[in-house]
Amino acid sequence: MTGVTVSGLGVVVGRRALLTDVDLVVERGEVLALVGPNGAGKSTLLRAIAGDVDHTGTVTIDGVPAGSEPPIAAARRRAVLEQEHGVAFGFRVGEVVRMGRAPWRGTDRAEDDDRVVARVLDQVELADRIDQTFPSLSGGERARASFARITAQETPVLLLDEPTAALDLRHQEGVLRIARAHAAAGGAVVVVLHDLTLAGAYADRVAMLADGRVVADGTPAEVLTAERISTVYRHPVTVLPDPHSGIPVVVPTRQEAVQ
Amino acid sequence: MTGQGPLAPVPTRRGACGAAGRPSARGEARVAPATLGPVAQGVTSRSRVGRITLLTVGLVVALVAATLVSASVGQLGISPAEVLRTVGRSIGIPVAGPSDDLVAQALWTIRFPRVVMALVIGAALAAAGVLMQAVFANPLADPGVVGVSGGAAFGACASIVFGLQFAGYWTTPLMAFAAGLVATMLVYGLSRAGGRTEVVTLLLTGIAVNAFTGAGLAFLTFLGDQQAREQIVFWQLGSLNGSMWDQAAAIAPVVGLGLAGSVVLTRSLDLLSLGDRAARHVGVRVEAVRIVAIVVVALLVGAAVAFAGIIAFVGLVVPHLMRMLIGPAHGPLLLVSTLGGALLLTIADLLARTLVPYADLPIGMLTSLVGGPFFFWLLRRARRRSGGWA
């Protein structure tokens, strides 16, 4: 079953084309990583899938065109983690995560609210912060609490914009493991990542964007080649196989680094 | 089956972030998903529920007491017991004790309408403050920023200066109400672009429209004769002097409607604090919520200023103080702020009448005089505690 389809997508803001003729398919059970240099259009693509920007071409989630249904129906289909996770006023962590359950209010699934909130907070190791106010958390903890909020939404499709940006090594791995498990349970995940090694390790497929176009789309081994990365990112890299798993590890060449 | 939803993303296991539980700060064992009890209860924040109940009861008791005191204190001293006896007799309860027609008349024609006006206007201003702060996701937002107060002042002053009489005695309040609503709609309409409003655009448009109404007000003050100027000044200072039952009867239904509308909005307002886009992502029709909230604010503030003039700071201070006490969830916040606003204005009006013998101080001056420093103190305190807004 198809999770997300994007075909002939174009986004123009002002006179600038942010995305041009983008085609993508994300099946259920799949994690797709969006990679590319700054300004390549990764976040714009994610927003287009979320139904937040005007676009040409078609974007569908579960066969339904993005932005065509009421917010509440869309909120039961896909959850979106944005790059910024501010919360106005001093809501407690538990209250913020519970806001992720809002789409299910008045349905049978609302009965699960307590259980789900407890489970997602436990997953991101914030169970003991449940009564702390959100603004008093550290940056990384806020990012994890926001991630917990969108997983609490229990939607088949997850759209994650740099979920690992503020996180330490352990929690980067943890968050992407949760995303993987989501796909394994039948969900579809689109995740914007800057760390190419993380993308290679956790994504089924990697789509590389440059200047608003998809320049490569395939398995990590197909897309993450030293030649392609060096060209697209305009910086020389070496790609080595991980000694344990064989997964590609991307190492930037550092000529001026201290020996 | 009450298990997980159709799509349980992660098989239940101890923290997907790794098997080894991080030692918690308090040295407790981390709660495994198998024993959800304590965590699940924690989600409901029992301590907050207790505080909300306590505060609500406290405010109701204080409100009843303040109402009684306000009704008994004045140029004609009446004991609280006498006040209760008079009320009891009027609603048909046979009460023992002396009956005094003069007292009953003073209470029913002068004191009671004034007390009721204070209650209704205080509640309206505080509720409007809660809505504004939620819509702008900013604790400093005040009903004034969308132009409702400036517009209302302009409307009221225009009717005074030009001697408009189309609705007789109701002309000035009606003009205040209508102009407040028009100014609000103008601010909202001008700041809308592509079906959306950005909060910053809205605030800046509000400033522009407020500057315009301010200029209009200055021009009207310049145009008016001495008597009109005096009226303008007093309207802007705010006063409950001369409150009457038909005034209360006119604004109470409007305020009731506004409060009912506010209650409907509270859940969406909670979600708005995630930011516009994130709120939409969890199913909120952000634009619709904002339009309804702003119309409700215009109704509440329009009704509040129609007869009493401008009474500042209630909408700013009360929600802020209540949020410090019970947290930001908008359902309980609206309840206690409404009660708190009514209480504050009842006390302020009592002081306005009694602070200086034989003088009725402008209540708007009083609320600003006390509210300003108090607000400053609140801010300093909040900053020390949490390094930012409460």
State the pLDDT at residue A132. 92
CB contact under 8 A, A71 and B280: yes
Model confidence at B39: pLDDT above 70: no
Q: Tell me whether residues B45 and A94 touch, CB distance under 8 A.
A: yes
Measure the CA–CA gap between A20 and A10, rounded to whole angstroms.
5
Are B16 and A115 within 8 A, CB to CB? no
pLDDT in tens, B207-249: 888 888 889 989 998 998 898 888 888 888 888 888 889 889 8
Residues shown for chain A: 259
Residue B8 has pLDDT above 60, yes or no: no
Cβ of A127 and B39 within 8 Å?
Answer: yes
Contact B315, B125 (CB under 8 A): yes
Q: Give Dmax over CA atoms of chain B in angstroms.
A: 81
How far, in Å, CA of B128 to CA of B319, rounded?
A: 9
Class of the CATH-defined domain B68-379: mainly alpha
Confidence of residue B197 (pLDDT cuts 50, 70, 90): low
The residue-averaged pLDDT of A170-182 equals: 96
- What is the β-pairing status of strands A205-210 and A213-218? antiparallel
Q: Which chain B residues contact residue A177 at CB under 8 A?
A: 16-17
Nearest CA-CA distance, residue A159 and chain B, Å? 11
Cα separation, A79 vs B277, whole angstroms: 12
Rounded to the nearest angstrom, the minimum Cα separation between B218 and chain A is 37
% residues pLDDT > 90 (chain B): 28
Size of interface A-B (CB pairs under 8 A): 187
| pLDDT (0 to 100) of residue A257 | 58
Query: For residue B32, which residues of chain A lie inside 8 Å, CB to CB?
Result: 122
Helix axes B314-326, B112-135, angle to 10 degrees: 70
Nearest chain A residue to B8 by CA: give it: A185
Q: Is A121 helix (H, G, I), strand (E, B) or coil?
A: helix
CA distance B257 to chain A (A): 25
Q: Which pLDDT band holds residue B113 (cuts at 50, 70, 90)?
A: very high
CA distance B140 to chain A (A): 11
The residues spanned by each domain of chain B are: 68-379
pLDDT tens track for B333-371: 999 999 999 999 999 999 998 888 888 888 988 888 888
- Closest residue of chain A to B277, computed from CA coordinates: A52
Question: Tens digits of per-residue pLDDT, A6-65?
Answer: 999 999 988 899 999 999 999 999 999 999 999 999 999 999 999 999 999 999 999 999
Structural domains present in chain A: 2-77+155-252 (3.40.50.300), 90-153 (no CATH)
* pLDDT value at residue B374: 78
Tokens of B62: 């204080």
Contacts of B10 in chain A (CB under 8 A): 119, 123, 151, 178, 181-182, 185
Report the pLDDT averaged over residues B64-70: 93
Number of Cα atoms under 13 Å in the Cβ half of residue B45: 21
pLDDT tens profile A112-160: 999 999 999 999 999 999 999 998 899 999 999 999 999 999 999 999 9
CB contacts of A92 in chain B (<8 Å) are: 45, 48, 327
Q: Is A155 in Cβ contact with B10 (below 8 Å)?
A: no
- Who wins on pLDDT, B384 or B26? B384
Confidence of residue B281 (pLDDT cuts 50, 70, 90): very high
Q: How confident is the model at residue B11 (pLDDT cuts 50, 70, 90)?
A: very low
Q: Judged by CB atoms within 8 Å, which residues 41-60 of A form the interface with B?
A: 50, 52
Residue pLDDT, tens place only, A200-251 = 999 999 999 999 999 999 999 999 999 999 999 999 999 998 888 888 899 9
Distance (Å, whole) CA A30 – CA B172: 66
Task: Say if A207 is an interface residue toward chain B (CB within 8 Å).
Answer: no
Helices (H), A23-123: 42-50, 71-75, 93-99, 113-123
pLDDT at B9 over 80: no
Question: What pLDDT score does B196 carry?
Answer: 63
DSSP per-residue string spanning B285-306: -HHHHHHHHHHHHHHHHHHHHH
Residue A188: pLDDT over 90: yes
**Which residue from A91, A111, A115 is facing B36, i.e. has the nearest CB?**
A115
